[in-house]
Amino acid sequence: MIKIKARAKLNLFLEVTRRRPDGYHELATLFARVGLADELRVWRTRSEGISLRVTGGPKELGRPEDNIVYRAAEKFFEAFRLRPAAAFALKKRIPVGAGLGGGSSDGAAALRGLAGLYRLPRASFPKLMRIAASVGSDVPFFMLDAAFAEGRGRGEKLKPLKAAGRLPYAVLVYPGEPVYTKEVYGNLKIAPGAEVRRRLGEFRELCGLIRKGGFAPGRAGKLFNRLEDPVLPRHKAVRLARQRLEELGAEAVLMSGSGATVFGLCRGRAKAAGIASEMRRIRGYRIFLTKFC
């Protein structure tokens, strides 16, 4: 049996540069892995087939057609021409519809777990990455052994980023109501070209700060998420959670991905813990105090 932590991600930057002819959107994003994680166990079985047991998540996640772990496993066995004979047990901690990449991370964990279980050689990694990209746009990031990565294309074209210096703590706030990606992109308006170019310049600056050890909440003004434009006016719960983090003194506040989670960065653990404690007083919120990892 192999056990894998499927960690969540934050988007420290996300600009949408254009809508592609295939219906997807072209992105420039900065992925950051954090400590919050689901747990996936996988083992080989004597009988043929793929089985999946889910605890801690919505009931529909137990249905094979609605779970990315099952879909990733199907593609794995098909691509490597192996007889499917595996069982999965998924313990959910990352909220669903939260902009934290929980499903994508679970899918990557399934591919990594199966690769280990079947002792695939290192040379198989490019093929695994192609499978990951076919499963979901964010899945390739979770295949990397990297805390940070620049993402282009749909998010699948990756450039790992090595961080230097001390990194801040993050308080994650899920306001209790999911936001669905399809709705967000359906209401998105692409910014004018001049504004997009300016934001991409800020993106490069932010990546440089992380590389050089200059990334701190007080200097994190380059954090940006274009998807806040369609989400905040339409989702009061997300808007209020963001506002409350700012009022409590988080030094940089942003929505992650397509929402609904917002996060605040703090220089030290004591301040982050204090903000997390205050936010836990609000009914319906799920709060996570974590670090980049």
pLDDT digits (tens, 9 = 90+) for 119-131: 999 999 999 999 9
Annotated catalytic residue, options 75, 92, 106, 138: 138
Specify whether 138 is catalytic.
Answer: yes
Give the residue from 94, 92, 4 showing the smallest Cα distance to 41. 4
- Which burial class, exposed, middle or buried, applies to 121 when counting CB atoms under 10 A from its CB (0-12, 13-18, 19+)? exposed
Percent of the chain with pLDDT over 70: 98
Q: Say whether both 34 and 54 belong to one domain.
A: yes
Query: pLDDT tens digits for 41-87?
Result: 999 999 999 999 999 877 767 677 778 999 999 999 999 999 999 99
- Average pLDDT value over all residues in the chain: 94
pLDDT at 97: 87
Predicted pLDDT at 23: 81
Exposed, middle or buried: residue 46 (CB in 10 Å: 0-12, 13-18, 19+)? exposed
Strand 85-91 versus strand 169-174 pairing type: unpaired
**pLDDT (tens digit per residue) in 178-196:** 999 999 999 999 999 999 9
210 is written with which tokens?
């992380």
Measured distance CA(286)–CA(42) in Å, rounded? 28
- Looking at 145, 161, 177, the residue that finishes a domain is 161
Q: Is 229 a catalytic residue?
A: no
Q: Report which of 252, 257, 230, 231 is spatially closest to residue 141, judged by C-alpha positions.
A: 257
DSSP assignments along 220-288, one per residue = -TT-EETTHHHHTTT-HHHHHHHHHHHHTT-SEEEE-TTSS-EEEEESSHHHHHHHHHHHTTSTT-EEE
Tell me the C-alpha distance between 102 and 256, whole Å: 12
Same domain, 157 and 207: no
Residue 47 shares a structural domain with residue 137: yes
Q: Specify whether the CB–CB gap between 22 and 47 falls below 8 A.
A: no
> Closest Cα partner for 175 from 52, 14, 48, 285?
285
Angle, helix 269-279 to helix 236-247, in steps of 10 degrees: 140
Residue where a domain terminates, one of 134, 161, 188: 161
Name residue, tokens 């274009």. 226
In a 13 Å sphere around the CA of 267, the CA atoms on its Cβ side amount to 8
Residues 76-126 pLDDT 10s: 999 999 999 999 999 999 999 899 999 999 999 999 999 999 999 999 999
Same domain, 8 and 137: yes
Number of folded domains that form the chain: 2
Helix (H) or strand (E) holding 202: helix 193-212
Angle between helices 125-135 and 102-117 (to 10 degrees): 150
- Domain of residue 200, CATH code: 3.30.70.890
> Do residue 37 and residue 120 come from a single domain?
yes
What is the structure's pLDDT at 218? 63
- Only one residue has tokens 């290192």, namely 122
Which residue type sits at 175?
A: P
Same domain? For 200 and 145 the reply is no
Do residues 287 and 189 both lie within one domain?
Answer: yes
- % residues pLDDT > 90 (the chain): 87
Are 178 and 54 in the same domain?
no
Q: What is the pLDDT of residue 215?
A: 84
Which residues lie across from 51 on neighbouring strands? 87
Q: Are residues 245 and 285 in the same domain?
A: yes
Residue 153: is it exposed, middle or buried by C-beta count within 10 angstroms (0-12/13-18/19+)?
Answer: middle
Are residue 148 and residue 183 in the same domain, yes or no?
no
The residue assigned the tokens 């040379």 is: 123
CATH of the domain at 134: 3.30.230.10
DSSP-derived 3-state class of residue 168: coil
Q: Where in the sequence is the domain holding 256, given as residue range(s)?
A: 169-291
The pLDDT confidence band at residue 266, using thresholds 50, 70 and 90, is very high
> Of the residues 132, 161, 190, which one is the last residue of a structural domain?
161
Indicate the pTM of the whole model.
0.93
Q: Are strands 169-174 and 157-161 parallel, antiparallel or unpaired?
A: unpaired
Task: Identify whether residues 153 and 120 lie together within a single domain.
Answer: yes
**DSSP per residue, 66-98:** G-HHHHHHHHHHHHTT---EEEEEEE--SPTTS
Residues 272 and 175 in one domain: yes
Cβ count near 233 (within 10 Å):
11
Please, which pLDDT band fits residue 219 given cuts at 50, 70 and 90? low
